């Protein structure tokens, strides 16, 4: 009882506690024998409830003390009243200024936040094996059809095996080589056709042309075909479903409650908003992947050289079945792996390119300088190649600053500690959720002075040809360590080739009578720009 009295302000029950104390004191005035049986029963219940409450609060704050210090949480709801629901990453940055680069917030699940690069490297690189886990609450596995499915949210040996196989197969398909360039430029050719038509309009929205271009690159890699411009309703449907999932996961408090208290997903309203509706939307993508697997199986030659990731994986399943050892390889697992690649690979790169248009419209002087380097190195007609990049330092700097300023992943995918450990000499228990905040690193004024500015020159030395090592070291949009983005090399190729191809052929500006695009992002799993229409001008007329 003394614990409750000493912490009544923290627990928010000062008046209530005083009332209960007065009520109980009243009973001491009367002999126990004068109390009616019902009153004695009620008193017993009150004493039991208060004792259980005191014990729960005592155990709760004893558990809180196991983690790095942070804002004081409340029982059951943790720090939810202190955390901004929208732009949560900015709220965490402000907390970091008070509590340091390693602190704990209760969302209400205890989550250790790491906001500075040295501490993130200590965790994800130096102690990478310990931090390689993933939490497995219903929310953390909401995009999987079974426990420990896919690659992004799986863990332990299954994750290692699936990631190793996926990386090996993607390299065989030319990831980082000329054959992948050809696949990208094939999608860019379709993009040209769309944007050429938009250039005849007074104003145009680049959103869907970019989404289709990037989506088709992933689609060809996984399934072997492109969505046609005049027959892409299915692609639009899937992309919109993914966008809904990404928005709802970051904008609903019910998601956080179910993450800590899984039983709440069975409640009406809360369970539907925080789990059911989100999962239903993502299962549309799982169904799409399953349909593609079925189509592949109809005419798949299991002995031929595979031309898609799906075909290669199906052959691997057959080979393991013949050896009597399927392990974790199945069509269900394949569907989960495919959705991981499709959703992550499509959404992140397309969103970055959308920010590229917004930022270059706002900064025509940077666009002009970028186009001059493209004209000098490649010229107006030749198709860009990855080999050109080494001769284009300013273009590389623009791409770096674009990824830094867009900062499209406000909250990194969380990790879980697999053993007791520490970071910055602060203890972190096993099975703790850890959030390495790469968005804070990209926005750090110590590494990037005036981080709100879009300034590619920050990545270049005074000679304009060599790179600022400190700035480059702090550019970590793909995260770090053993769980670093598996599609990083493909994303880098896409960003360079698509941006250069667009800047070589077009200029983007504010339409007549229009305004500069708004820089306020739409908050979600990814931060997307608000819808914007720009004026597109052909740079070189035939």
- Measured CA to CA, the distance from residue 187 to residue 346 in angstroms comes to 13
509: exposed, middle or buried (Cβ count in 10 Å: 0-12, 13-18, 19+)? middle
Residues making up the binding site for heme: 485
Say whether 506 sits in a helix, a strand or coil: strand
Q: How many C-beta neighbours within 10 Å does residue 257 have?
A: 25
DSSP-assigned beta bridge partners for residue 509: 535
Q: How many C-beta neighbours within 10 Å does residue 96 have?
A: 20
Between β-strands 506-509 and 415-416, what pairing exists: parallel, antiparallel or unpaired? unpaired
What's the token pair of residue 63?
């558990």
Q: In sequence order, which ranges of 28-147 are alpha helices (DSSP H)?
A: 37-64, 88-99, 117-121
What's the token pair of residue 155?
């863990």
DSSP letters for 95-116 = HHHHH-SEEEEESSSEEEEE-S
Contact at 8 Å (CB) between 516 and 502?
A: no
- Measured CA to CA, the distance from residue 126 to residue 134 in angstroms comes to 18
- Count each helix (H run) and each strand (E run) in the chain, helices first: 20, 10
Contact at 8 Å (CB) between 200 and 536?
A: no
Residues making up the binding site: 485
Cis link prior to 243 (omega < 30° from 0)?
Answer: no
What's the token pair of residue 247?
């928005």
Q: How many C-beta neighbours within 10 Å does residue 449 have?
A: 11
């Amino acid at each position: 009882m003394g614990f409750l009295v000493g912490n009544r302000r923290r627990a928010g029950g000062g008046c209530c506690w005083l009332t209960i104390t007065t009520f109980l004191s009243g009973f001491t005035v009367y002999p126990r024998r004068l109390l009616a049986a019902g009153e004695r029963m009620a008193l017993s219940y009150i004493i039991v409830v208060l004792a259980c409450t005191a014990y729960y609060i005592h155990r709760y704050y004893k558990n809180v003390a196991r983690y790095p210090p942070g804002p004081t949480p409340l029982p059951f709801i943790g720090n939810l009243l202190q955390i901004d629901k929208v732009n949560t990453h900015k709220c965490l940055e402000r907390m970091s200024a008070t509590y340091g680069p390693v602190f704990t917030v209760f969302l209400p699940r205890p989550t250790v936040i790491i906001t500075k690069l040295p501490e993130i490297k200590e965790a994800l690189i130096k102690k990478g094996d310990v931090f390689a886990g993933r939490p497995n609450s219903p929310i953390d596995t909401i995009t999987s059809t079974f426990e420990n499915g896919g690659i992004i949210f799986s863990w332990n040996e299954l994750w290692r095996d699936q990631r190793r196989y996926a990386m090996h197969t993607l390299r065989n398909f030319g990831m980082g080589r000329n054959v992948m360039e050809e696949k990208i430029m094939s999608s860019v050719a379709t993009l040209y056709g769309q944007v050429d038509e938009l250039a005849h309009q007074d104003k145009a929205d680049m959103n869907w042309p970019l989404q289709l271009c990037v989506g088709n690159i992933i689609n060809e890699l996984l399934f072997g075909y492109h969505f046609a411009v005049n027959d892409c309703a299915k692609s639009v449907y899937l992309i919109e479903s993914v966008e809904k999932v990404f928005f709802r996961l970051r904008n609903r408090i019910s998601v956080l409650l179910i993450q800590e208290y899984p039983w709440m997903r069975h409640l009406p309203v809360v369970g539907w908003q925080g789990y059911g509706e989100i999962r239903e939307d993502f299962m549309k993508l799982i169904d799409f992947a399953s349909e593609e697997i079925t189509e592949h199986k109809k005419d798949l030659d299991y002995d031929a050289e595979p031309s898609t990731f799906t075909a290669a994986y199906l052959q691997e399943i057959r080979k393991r079945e013949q050896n009597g050892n399927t392990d974790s390889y199945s069509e269900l697992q394949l569907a989960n792996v495919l959705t991981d690649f499709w959703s992550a690979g499509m959404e992140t790169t397309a969103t970055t390119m959308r920010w590229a248009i917004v930022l270059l419209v706002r900064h025509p002087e940077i666009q002009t300088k970028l186009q001059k380097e493209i004209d000098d190195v490649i010229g107006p007609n030749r198709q860009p190649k990855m080999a050109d990049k080494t001769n284009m330092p300013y273009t590389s700097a623009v791409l770096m600053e674009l990824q830094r300023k867009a900062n499209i992943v406000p909250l990194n995918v969380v990790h879980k500690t697999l053993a007791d450990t520490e970071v910055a000499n602060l203890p972190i228990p096993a099975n703790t959720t850890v959030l390495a905040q790469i968005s804070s690193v990209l926005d750090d004024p110590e590494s990037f002075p005036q981080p709100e500015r879009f300034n590619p020159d920050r990545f270049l030395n005074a000679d304009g040809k060599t790179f600022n090592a400190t700035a480059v070291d702090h550019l970590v949009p793909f995260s770090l360590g053993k769980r670093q983005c598996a599609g990083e090399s493909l994303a880098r190729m896409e960003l360079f080739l698509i941006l250069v191809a667009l800047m070589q052929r077009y200029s983007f500006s504010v339409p007549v009578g229009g305004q500069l695009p708004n820089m306020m992002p739409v908050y979600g799993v990814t931060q997307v720009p608000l819808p914007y229409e720009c004026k597109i001008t052909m740079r070189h007329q035939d």
